[in-house]
Amino acid sequence: MKTRVAIIGAGPAGLLLSHLLEREGIESIIVEAQSSDFVLGRFRAGLLEAASVDVLDEAGLSERLHRDGLEHRGVYVQWPGTKRAVDFVERGGRPVWVYGQSELTRDLSDARFAAGQQMYYNVSDVALHDVDSSAPFLTGVDATGRSIRIDADVIVGCDGFAGVSRDSLAQSLRAVYERRYPHSWLGFFADVPPSSDQIIFAWHPEGFAMHTMRSASISRFHLQVDPHDHISAWSDDRIWETTARRLGSGDNDWTLHTGPITEKSILPLRCRITTPMRHARLFLAGDAAHVVPPTGAKGLNLAIADVTLLARALGAWKRGDESLANAYSDSALRRVWRAAEFSWSWSSALHTTGDPFDDQLQLAQLDWLTSSPTGGAGLAEKFSGVPIAFG
């Protein structure tokens, strides 16, 4: 098989890239290690920046998002005895949208199938070859056990943190920046309607808590836990009791809705950024190049920004101008590091350390961010995002 762009990974980054490339008149083939059902069933991020929604609007992919998604003007930030609303629109930003990654993946997948996109699922043993040359190719084994080869002008790795693309960059060519946080998140879904009209970020002496939502009938929660904790130690009763205590249910102007917990897991918090995001004919996008803590909800948005920049760059390259392709890594990484800084600073403000001095510093920071026009404007911009552009 031969194509202009071979895309590894059929998650949101790979699917959206193929759609944007088609609009540039560039054909592509997607290969994915997992099954279609597995990819569509992954429950992950669910907060979209205004800039990400702009991309989906312009690409004609946002009909269901606007129908079923939840538009939010801001968030609540609270600590014992205090609850404050930060209105992003009022503070000079733009709204955000709550829309599950699984729902967005389904929208993108449906659009690609409708367009006749070549997609191969359950492809194992994927390997990249000759990315330094003008004729790179990848090989793998398809679901029937048949060996396949795809020749391309460009290969794009959208295959996530554990994929093969990043490791295809020789160690001598890449730098990896990593930070492991001293806490983890216990995340869980529950079949209960949201208890709040906006997302809640809560500081509590015993640990951070967050209440968000996926739909009018499904809620999502996160609790700060010890990195050595195991999910087996957290019964549903213990989870709900801890959530109610940390969110101050009954102490504020709302009551926590409890009910069946459908999924729960513990996620280590880490930041890992690989540079560069391009070498010769190989480009990286999304989690294949960078993973940031979910506190700022930037992972999915960074993936959308990456492939938006990359589609524009490859479109220009097709027309004879390689300058945007040459600028891709630097432009994408500027946004990545800004997101990493926000994820770090927001995490640092909300996750307790057990040190009373740190507690007071965190409360002072939260007070400033939620009461100062300057602090609130900065928080609004970091959450709602800025337009996606080179430079």
pLDDT digits (tens, 9 = 90+) for 168-197: 888 888 999 999 999 999 999 999 999 999
**What's the pLDDT at 214?**
85
| pLDDT tens digits for range 227-278 | 999 999 999 999 999 999 999 875 667 789 999 999 999 999 999 999 999 9
Classify 179-268 by CATH class. Answer: alpha beta
pLDDT in tens, 126-147: 999 999 999 999 999 999 999 9
Strands 118-120 and 28-31 come out as: parallel
Give the number of other CB atoms < 10 A from CB of residue 80.
14
Closest C-alpha among 185, 193, 190 to residue 240: 190
Q: Amino acid letter at 359?
A: D
Locate 297 and state its tokens: 């909800």
DSSP letters spanning 186-218: EEEEESS--SSSSEEEE--TT--EEEEESSSS-
Who's near 156: CB < 8 A, 6+ residues apart? 5, 6, 7, 8, 14, 17, 165, 282, 283, 284, 285, 310
Confidence of residue 45 (pLDDT cuts 50, 70, 90): low
Tokens describing residue 248: 């101050």
pLDDT in tens, 103-123: 999 999 999 999 999 999 999
Tally Cβ neighbours within 10 Å of residue 146.
Answer: 8
pLDDT at 390: 85
6, two tokens = 């071979």
**Which pLDDT band holds residue 43 (cuts at 50, 70, 90)?**
low
Q: Is the pLDDT of residue 377 over 80?
A: yes
The pLDDT assigned to 93 comes to: 77
29 CA to centre of own chain: 23
Residue 81 has pLDDT above 80, yes or no: yes
DSSP 127-176: EEE-TTSSS-EEEEE-TTS-EEEEEEEEEEE---TTSSTGGGS-GGG-EE
Longest dimension (CA), the chain: 64
The CATH architecture to which 2-70+95-177+271-348+356-384 belongs is: 3-Layer(bba) Sandwich (3.50)
> In which band, very low, low, confident or very high, does the pLDDT at 100 lie, cut at 50, 70 and 90?
confident
Query: Percentage of the chain surpassing pLDDT 70?
Result: 97
Range scoring the smallest mean pLDDT among 40-54, 71-85, 233-247 = 40-54
Neighbours of 259 (CB within 10 A): 13
- Position 369 pLDDT exceeds 80: yes
- Residue range 205-234: average pLDDT? 94
Q: What is the average pLDDT score of the chain?
A: 94
pLDDT at residue 5 in the model: 98
Span 356-373, average pLDDT? 97
Determine if residue 66 is left, alpha or beta; phi over 0 gives left, psi from -120 to 50 gives alpha, anything else beta.
alpha
Cis peptide before 276 (omega within 30 of 0): yes
- CA separation for the pair 234, 236 (Å, rounded): 6
| 272 within 8 A of 290, measured Cβ to Cβ | yes
Q: Is the pLDDT of residue 150 over 70?
A: yes
Element (H, E) at 314: helix 299-318
pLDDT in tens, 266-324: 999 999 999 999 999 999 999 999 999 989 899 999 999 999 999 999 999 999 999 99
Q: What is the pTM of this model?
A: 0.95
| Rounded CA separation 58/55 (Å) | 5
| Token reading at 199 | 């997302």
Question: Residue 161 to residues 19, 45, 247, 270, 272: CA-CA distances in angstroms?
Answer: 22, 15, 32, 12, 9
pLDDT of residue 40: 81
Whether the pLDDT of residue 8 is over 70: the answer is yes
Domain ranges in the chain are 2-70+95-177+271-348+356-384, 179-268
The pLDDT of residue 254 is 75
The alpha-carbon radius of gyration of the chain (Å, integer) is: 21
| The pLDDT of residue 19 | 97
